[in-house]
Amino acid sequence: MAYLTTTGSGQPVLILKEGTSRSRGKEAQRNNIMAARVIGEVLKTTLGPRGMDKMLIDSLGDITITNDGAAILNEIDVEHPAAKMMVEIAKTQDDMVGDGTTTSVVLASELLKKAEELIDQGIHPTILVSGYRKAAQKAVETINKMAVPVDINDRKTLLKIALTSMSSKAVGGAREHLAEIAIDAVKQVMEQRGDKRIADIDNIQLVKKTGKSLLETQLIQGIIIDKEVVHSGMPKKKENAKIALLDCALEIEKTEISAEIRIRDPAQMKAFLDQETSMMKAMVDKIKAAGADVVFCQKGIDDMVQHFLAKESILAARRIKESDMEKLARATGGRIVSDLEDLSAKDLGQAGLVEERKIGEDKMIFVEKCKDPHSVAILLRAGLERMVDEAERAMTDSLSVISDVIENSRIVAGGGAIEVEVAKELRNYATKVGGREQLAIEAFAEAVEVIPKTLAENAGFEPIDIIVELRATHEKEDGKYKGINVFTGKLQDSFEAGVIEPAVVKEQAIKSAAESAAMILRIDDVIAASKPKEGPGGKTPPGGFEGEE
């Protein structure tokens, strides 16, 4: 419908285009809160070691089975704009710290639920937003106060952190094996920049292959190239390899403009063809002179060049991805050369072994046994394709938390312990703030407790009893690290039990959840334009407007 209003003289005025829908005031707020809460409800049952999985089937019929918050929201085709904001929280959380996506979405959903109750009691959304902001700031301060520094060489603690991040994933008995690999990989790519430690997990290559079992996942001190050796006459294995990394085509480039060469003499024809061959031979001689016995080329390699390389017993692969070339340079210590004329011995990378291996149906080139690689690869194996995907998600989470701890070496107690402590501090803080904001801060404190509540609920225990017990324990001086043991339903010291999480994961979850809840609460009017009608063949008509001829 078109949105109409009338002037004082009763003249109708068309404000919004026909087909535009509008909801405002309480109705708009309720719709937005409801849509965002539905997303929270979807993820709620996946939280914790005893959380359940979701089976997602996309429009093409591809199946994903996971309980990873970011993966679930990525697969769901969300329509409602407020729900899309919840998907964005998960994406931000995943991009920033790599873990805690479910926590942030469930927390945002609970904040909105509490806010709705207060709005019904007549509290203005602006006061709520202001209270939530103060509460989020106080919560982050509490996390910082409660965080414990960790030594990055303390492998035992790092292992506990990695295991905690994988506790909800369906990788079962292989958790410890994967956690050990994650620690080794992150430590290998870690670098010191001034007084800061940087561990960029983009330098860790994850290669998935079905077959064998999760326990046969391995760390490669080097890189795996998903290509095969270009020529059957080339060696399939080179030890103590000297590697040339080329960003130029090993072929004679065709001229930009069409040219015509007139040849009257057969000898001239032969000379012309021989010239092309000798130019290609010169390329191979240049590579040989530099001392290279392995060539990775980002562009094409001509058949004739392949023949000459095979004669010199040089192993070569072509059309390597740019990202893989960069990883090769970091792993082997080589330099990517854009002009063959510049290639010299000092540009070559080194690896203890370069070998083509057949894994399942595919042939791949392993560049391994590098001396001190700043880029490494993890070859993930499992019997099912779905399992390999889930192993990849588990591995990404554990790599992320290890890198978080290496870059920001502070940890907090898991199992709901930090949330209960934050809630306790917020309740004390609320009385100092006073006024109507006090109610918002108390609502924030209750919302934060949704994490231990949900952990208990998913484990099949009575959440109210556990929350009461947790609150009572946290009032005591020695109870601040007490969390839930989801397998027994009893309380335990999370640090002693090895349920540990990086402080930055919790901080980011609270910041993202508070921001998105504040943004949704401030909306009081939703004006949605009509969608353009689809033209023939499912296409929008030219110009993108309906009714255009």
Point out the residues that are catalytic: 68, 101-102, 397
| Amino acid at position 347, single letter | D
CA–CA separation, 405 and 161 (whole Å): 9
C-alpha Rg value of the chain to the nearest Å: 30
Report the sign of the C-alpha dihedral through residues 92, 93, 99, 103, in that order.
Answer: negative
Taking a C-beta distance cutoff of 8 angstroms, is the pair 241, 413 a contact? no
Six token digits for residue 437: 């904001």
Look at residue 291 and give its three-state secondary structure.
coil
Token pair 């001239």 is found at 268
Six token digits for residue 264: 């009257």
CA–CA separation, 118 and 441 (whole Å): 11
Strand partners, 148: 411
Who contacts 113 (Cβ-Cβ below 8 Å, separation ≥6)? 33, 37, 447
Q: Exposure pattern of 434-443 as b/e (b: 16+ CB <10 Å)?
A: eebbbbbbbb
CA–CA separation, 459 and 538 (whole Å): 47
Q: Give the residue from 253, 222, 542, 533 showing the smallest Cα distance to 379.
A: 222
Question: How many CB atoms lie under 10 A from the CB of residue 8?
Answer: 5
Look at residue 319 and give its three-state secondary structure.
coil
Who contacts 511 (Cβ-Cβ below 8 Å, separation ≥6)? 136, 140
Helices and strands in the chain: count of H runs, count of E runs: 17, 23
Look at residue 119 and give its three-state secondary structure.
helix
Q: Exposure pattern of 76-99 as b/e (b: 16+ CB <10 Å)?
A: eeeebebbebbbebbebbbebbbb
CA–CA separation, 67 and 44 (whole Å): 10
Token pair 């072929």 is found at 251
Taking a C-beta distance cutoff of 8 angstroms, is the pair 135, 143 a contact? no
